[in-house]
Structure 1
Amino acid sequence: MLTLITNRKIVKEGNYFSTIKKAIEGGVDAIILREKDIPKEELQSIAEGVKEIIGERKVLLIINSNIEIAKAVEADGIQLSFDTFINEKLHVGFEGLVGVSVHSLQEALGAEMRGASYVLASHVFETACKAGLEPKGLRLIKEIKEKVSIPVIALGGITPENVKDVMDLGVEGVAVMSGIMAAEDVFEVVEMFKKMMS
Structure 2
Amino acid sequence: MKKKIYIVTNRKLVKNKNMLDIIESSVLAGADAVILREKDLDSGRLIPLAEKIKKITEPRKIPLIINGNIETALKVNSGGFHTSYTDYMNGHFKFNGTLGVSVHSTSEAVNAEKEGADYLLAGHIFETDCKKGLKPRGISFLKDILSNVSIPVIAIGGINESNIDKLLKTDVCGAAVMSLVMCSDDPYLTTRNLKNHME
Using the size of structure 1 for normalisation, the TM-score is 0.97
* In the alignment, structure 1 residue 104 sits paired with structure 2 residue 129: no
Partner of 1:167: 168
Partner of 1:187: 188
Deviation at 1:167, TM superposition (A): 1.4
How far, CA to CA, are the matches of 1:142 and 1:106 in structure 2? 13
* In the alignment, structure 1 residue 82 sits paired with structure 2 residue 62: no
Partner of 2:197: 196
- Root mean square deviation of aligned Cα: 0.9
Displacement over 6 Å in runs of 4+: none
Partner of 2:124: 123
How far, CA to CA, are the matches of 1:54 and 1:153 in structure 2? 20
How far, CA to CA, are the matches of 1:21 and 1:81 in structure 2? 26
Residues 34-77 of structure 1 show CA distances to partners (whole Å, capped at 9, x for unaligned) of: 00112311100000000011231021100001111101001001
Deviation at 1:13, TM superposition (A): 5.0
1:65-80 to 2 correspondences below 5 Å: 65-80=68-83
Deviation at 1:115, TM superposition (A): 0.4
Which of the numbers 61, 69, 79 marks the counterpart of 1:58?
61
Deviation at 1:14, TM superposition (A): 2.0
Q: Which of 162-171 and 185-194 deviates more? A: 162-171
How far, CA to CA, are the matches of 2:20 and 2:167 in structure 1? 29
Deviation at 1:88, TM superposition (A): 1.6
Percentage identity across paired residues of the two chains:
44
Deviation at 1:12, TM superposition (A): 3.1
Partner of 1:177: 178
Q: Which of 50-59 and 70-79 deviates more? A: 50-59
Which of the numbers 32, 39, 63 marks the counterpart of 1:36?
39
Q: Which of 36-45 and 150-159 deviates more? A: 36-45
Q: Secondary structure at 2:147's aligned position in 1?
A: helix
Which of the numbers 47, 52, 57 marks the counterpart of 2:50?
47
Which of the numbers 12, 33, 38 marks the counterpart of 2:15?
12
Q: Which of 102-111 and 160-169 deviates more? A: 160-169
Q: Secondary structure at 1:147's aligned position in 2?
A: coil
Residue type matched to 2:83 in 1?
L
Residue type matched to 1:160 in 2?
E
* In the alignment, structure 1 residue 158 sits paired with structure 2 residue 156: no
Count residues with an aligned counterpart: 196
How far, CA to CA, are the matches of 1:48 and 1:168 in structure 2? 36
Q: Secondary structure at 1:55's aligned position in 2?
A: helix
How far, CA to CA, are the matches of 1:13 and 1:173 in structure 2? 28
- Unaligned 5+ segments in structure 1 are none
Residue type matched to 1:95 in 2?
N
